[in-house]
Each structure stands twice: as structure tokens, then as C-alpha cells.
Structure 1
Amino acid sequence: EYFDVAYSLAVCQHGYVYNGRGKGHQSGANGDKQLNANHYAVLAFLGKNGVSQPSQSQITGIQDAIAYLRRAGAGNEIKGHRDGYSTECPGEPLYKLVKDGTLDPGKLWNGGTHEVEPNENLGDISLKYNVPQRYIIDVNKLKAPYDLKVGEKLEIPARGVPLGEKAPGNGGGGDDGSV
């Protein structure tokens, strides 16, 4: 029996990440003691009926949750409940993303600044550092249509760290985004 949320983190359709038991605490959602001791658990607010397809914002939020837990010591493995316990969870739409690698956040950039180069746009910068465009927009308070000027300095936030905070220690990526 649980007196709290058994998951480490939870992600809604809007991409917001909510704290359950949080990082550094054993999950109770993975099906048995050994799986709970060895793995964090991220809940996606989806159902068999109603909202069953993850939105792009939710996918980004799940990637952020995984990046956040990796900064807390989680390994690189991403599995669904059904990989360790007899269940239909997660449903097919989300499980497909587990299996094809879509939920992996990739390299963890530790944050820093970027100077805009000729012919570079926000999408290019987002891909270079593996940081969602909306995070770069938010921390730099950019206004649409997001026309960047050559030589403009942008703050690039760390992935897997709440916006406004600095990456602790080594998040798996160097200052240049390398691993």
C-alpha cells in the first residue's frame, strides 16, 4: 500500500514535469522490489481511453524528466513497465516511443552562452545544443518572430535542469555539449 505517488516524476500533456517521490528516492511503481530498487519511474498522464496519444510537449517533458534523473545518477536504459512486469503499461502509442528511442534526451548540455553566427536560426541553435527552442526563447525573453542578429549572445539553458538553475557538476556533457 502507498501513502504517496509511487512514481519518481510525472508528465502531463502540456509537458510540465511534476515531482512524485523525486530523485534520490526509490520508486514504488515498477512492479517488484528489485525493479524499484534499480530504476526510477516516470508517469505519463495518458489512458487507454480518452487521451491516449502523447503530445509533442509531453514527449519533450518526458525527455526532460529522464535528463533530470540522469543528472541524479540514473543510467541510460529506458524501459516500459511491460519490459519488467506483466502489464499493458505503457499503452502502444507511448511504448512505441520507448522502443524507437524517441524518449531518450540525448547529450546533456550543461548550459552556457552562444554567439549567433551568419545564417543561423533558432532551430539550428536548438539542435546544436539539444535544448528545445521554447527554453531558449524563455530564458532569453525573445519575442516573435525570433529574428536573431549575427553576434547576438544567447543564454542556452542546461537540459534536465529546471529553467533558471545551473547544471550541477558534470551532467554527462562538456561545456561544448560533447560527451
Structure 2
Amino acid sequence: MRRRSIPGAQGRVRPMRLLGDPVLHAPCAEVTEFGPDLARLVEDMYATMYAARGVGLAANQIGHDLRVFVYDCPDDEERRHLGHVVNPRLVDADGEVLHGPEGCLSLPGLEARTPRFDRAVVAGVTVRGEPVRVCGTGFFARCLQHECDHLGGGLYPDRITGWRRRRVLRAAAKAPWST
């Protein structure tokens, strides 16, 4: 039997980019080169996500403007979903719109009730270029939508309005990590 390696075990933790960093606010580029550099990036992304105690991480959150994200996220039934997607596209998001708490590793310590669909489907490829399709519901669907937003240059405060948006942006401006 072939032993599976633990994602991120060979990776190194990279510095997290925070709200205000231009790389977080610009659409990411398609991955065109598959090989050891991409595999190393994905390993580093896992290591960084685990070190930050997150459930998902987009490449631009560590300064790479490439369309890649990793995840290790439970759904609402506590089933674990573990994987990565290169060149992901949100191909379907439907069902009930739920307003739930959402945070982000690029806005540490903050969260806000953010609307997300209860079901999401993402299609893309693996680091080896093999097609992958990921379907999620509940919290995992929220994670998939959140990471796809990152790769388009968006953050969860972009999805909220009114006093909730003002509150989270004010808190971010006062945060010790704010620039």
C-alpha cells in the first residue's frame, strides 16, 4: 500500500499578506506551468494554512498572484474535506443564502456575518494538471466561495454592506497588524 504524505509536512510557512496589500485586491493569473515549483507552492500553502489555524488559503494570501487554493475544511456534518484546486472556477453556487460568521487569515481576529450560498461547485485541476471538481455544502461551500473570491481580488468585507461593513473595516484599521 502506498503511503500518502501529510499535506504541508514538507512545506515552509510563508508570511501572510494582510488587508491593504495590493496582491489581495487584484485578480490572480492562470497557472500555465505545472511542475516542482507549483507543487512546492502548494506544500507551502498547506504549511502556512495549518500554522495560521485556517481552513483554506489562496495563493495571493502569501504573495503569489496565481489561481491556486488549498483547503482542509469540515462541512456542517463535520466531514473533513482536504485538497487543493489549481485554476479554479466557481461553476455553481445555489441553494439558500445563509448569513453566517466569516473570517479570513488576511484579516486576523475579525469576522462578520457574510451572505453565502449553501451549495457550491468548483472545477479546476490538480498540481499534476488532472481535472478536479469539488462540491460543498454548508460551511465547506462558504469556504469554496471565499477562496474563489480571493483569487478574483475580493475579500469577505466586499460582500457585506452597511453598518456590518463599516464595523469590520473600522476594526481592521485599528488592528495591531494594520498598516
Q: Looking at CA atoms only, which structure, 1 or 2, has the larger radius of gyration?
A: 1
Alignment TM-score > 0.5, same fold: no
Using CA pairs below 8 Å that are at least 6 residues apart, which structure has the higher relative contact order? 2
TM-score with structure 2 setting the length: 0.31
